[in-house]
Amino acid sequence: MQQLSYFELVGFGPNGWGLALLTAAGMTIAVAICGFLAGSVVGTLVAWGKIGGNVVIRSLADGYTTVLRGIPDLLVIYLFYFGGSAALGAIGSLFGAQGFIGVPAFVTGALAIGIVSGAYQAEVFRGAYQVVSRGEIEAARSVGMHRWLMFRRIIAPQVLRYAIPGLGNTWQLVLKESALISVTGLVELLRQSHIAAGSTRRPFDFYVTAAILYLLITWVSTYLFQRAEAHSMRGMRRAS
Mean pLDDT over all residues of the chain? 88
Predicted pLDDT at 172: 94
Question: Alpha-carbon torsion 171, 176, 177, 182, what sign?
Answer: positive
Poorest-pLDDT segment among 116-120, 145-149, 158-162, 173-177: 145-149
Q: Are 94 and 17 in contact (CB under 8 A)?
A: no
Domain 24-186 listed as CATH 3.20.20.10: no
Backbone φ and ψ for 174, nearest 5 degrees, come out as -60, -40
Q: Find all residues with CB under 8 Å of 207, minimum gap 6, and list them.
A: 193, 197
Give 2's pLDDT tier (boundaries 50, 70, 90): low
Q: Find all residues with CB under 8 Å of 37, minimum gap 6, and list them.
A: 114
Q: What is the pTM of this model?
A: 0.89
Give 135's pLDDT tier (boundaries 50, 70, 90): confident
Give 104's pLDDT tier (boundaries 50, 70, 90): confident
